Amino acid sequence: MKEKKFCEESYVVEPLEEFFSALSSVKRLQVVYLLKTGEKNVKELMSCMNIDQSSLSRHLNILKKAGILKVRREGTLTYYRLSDPRVVDIIQTGLKIVIKIKEEEMTRLTSLQ
């Protein structure tokens, strides 16, 4: 059986696009960091963030749709947790890459002076 090239595998690439797109918001990144220590309900998240409930719900739904969050209902409360703690590792790796890029840019600009 002939193996398809990665670039032809839209069923892999499209969910990956959705995953990274879901992480492309400061508020959604903040949600992920708040949930890295364990599940929280909407009221707990709202108390840590400067955001109204409707905006938070929109962000939570985007993260849930991308598979980043899992939901648990208990009575009238809805609790959210990370579906996989490695999501935080991905963000931290991205942050390290961005810091390295910025440091290299600063070094290059400094050498031009």
pLDDT, position 7: 57
Q: What is the pLDDT of residues 31-84, one digit of tens each?
A: 999 999 999 999 999 999 999 999 999 999 999 999 999 999 999 999 999 999
Q: Where are the domains of the chain?
A: 8-83
Return the CATH fold of 8-83: Arc Repressor Mutant, subunit A (1.10.10)
- pLDDT category at 85 given cuts 50, 70, 90 is very high
Q: What burial letters (b/e) apply to 94-103, b meaning 16+ CB within 10 Å?
A: eeeeeeeeee
Question: Phi/psi of residue 78, each to 5°?
Answer: -115, 125
pTM exceeding 0.85 = no
Amino acid at 33: Y
